Amino acid sequence: MVNTNFENKSEQGIEDNGAIKEVEKEDLSLDNFSSDNENIILVYAKKFGRFVFDIVKVVLISLAIILPVRMFLIQPFYVEGASMEPNFHDKEYLIIDEISYRFQEPQRGEVIVFRNPKNTKQYYIKRVIGLPGETIEISGGEVLINGKAIKEPYIENLSKQSFSALTLADDEYFVLGDNRPVSQDSRYFKALKREYIIGRVWFRGWPVDKISTFNLPTY
């Protein structure tokens, strides 16, 4: 009897163990994953791949457009100081057109940004007054070009300072700030070489209530 019970238990144990092993094999088998599950995973993988690709594409296209524009066409600057008041004020945000001067020369009355000839790491904003070949003189604050006084309707604060006659070379300009009493300009560093000019002021983007473009004054 004892032997019989033992044999029955052993046989039962073998059957139980065998059943357990069989279940484990089925659980680990890849056959349990249906084609539907595979399709869902594949679909999500493709969607994620397309999402990443679209982001990279947008970034690359944006850089391809923005970088050349930023480097060769337009450039932002902030006004610092009061030398161009009342027309430009401290902290105003300006967009500079760098492309126009590749095809034409600066004109009288245009407001330009240029490197300070005495310190090229500094940038100045001034108005073009004298053009190449002209003789510029300032008498009692009045600007004379080739001996004739010009009208400057954009000036509110006129300096009484005088400046001896200066004839500009073919690549030189005479620039002045609109706020004459406080502006460091061609009265101090003399003629401005063409090579220092960055571009002309094209657009004011800040503050919002002063957003505008700029036209040449009439002389």
The pTM of this model reads: 0.66
Residues involved in catalysis: 83, 126
From first to last of the 219 residues of the chain, give the pLDDT tens digit.
434 443 444 444 334 444 444 444 445 454 554 555 567 777 677 777 777 777 776 666 655 555 555 555 556 787 888 999 999 999 898 888 888 898 899 999 999 999 998 898 899 999 999 999 999 999 988 999 999 999 999 998 888 888 999 999 999 999 999 999 999 999 999 999 999 999 999 888 888 888 888 878 878
Cα separation of 98 and 53, whole Å? 34
